[in-house]
Amino acid sequence: MRQMSQAKVDKQKEYKKNRKKIIAKEKRKSRAVKWIGYLCLICIIGGVGFSFYQKLNPAPEDNTSTFYNLIATDNYGILHPTLSE
């Protein structure tokens, strides 16, 4: 049987004593990493899909009308004649 140094023995005892807490912490960390990975994957797939959607279905052009004032200003007295005496 191999001899273990006292530090290794103490470390092993500490691990056994807190094994449930350590394993629970590792599981939480593993779950968090998985969820972050899934979230990133969903964002990437959504972004690529949205990009393809925009390329296949371009936005319609704005149907805006331009208003022109076709009545010129009354600089010559045509619309409102005044009698000059």
Residue 68 in domain: no
Residue 61 in domain: no
Residue 42 in domain: yes
Residue 13 clears pLDDT 70, i.e. is over it = yes
Q: For the chain, what is the domain count?
A: 1
Residue type, 30: S
Instruction: Give the tens place of pLDDT for each residue, 29-75.
Output: 999 999 999 999 999 999 999 999 999 988 777 767 766 666 556 66
Residue 35 belongs to what domain range?
6-56
pTM above 0.75, yes or no: no
Residues in the chain: 85
Q: How far apart are CA 5 and CA 11, in angstroms?
A: 10
Residue 74 in domain: no
Residue 78 in domain: no
Q: Does residue 64 contact residue 58 with C-beta atoms inside 8 Å?
A: no
Write b or e for each residue in 48-78: b if 16 or more Cβ atoms lie within 10 A of its Cβ, otherwise e. eeeeeeeeeeeeeeeeeeeeeeeeeeeeeee
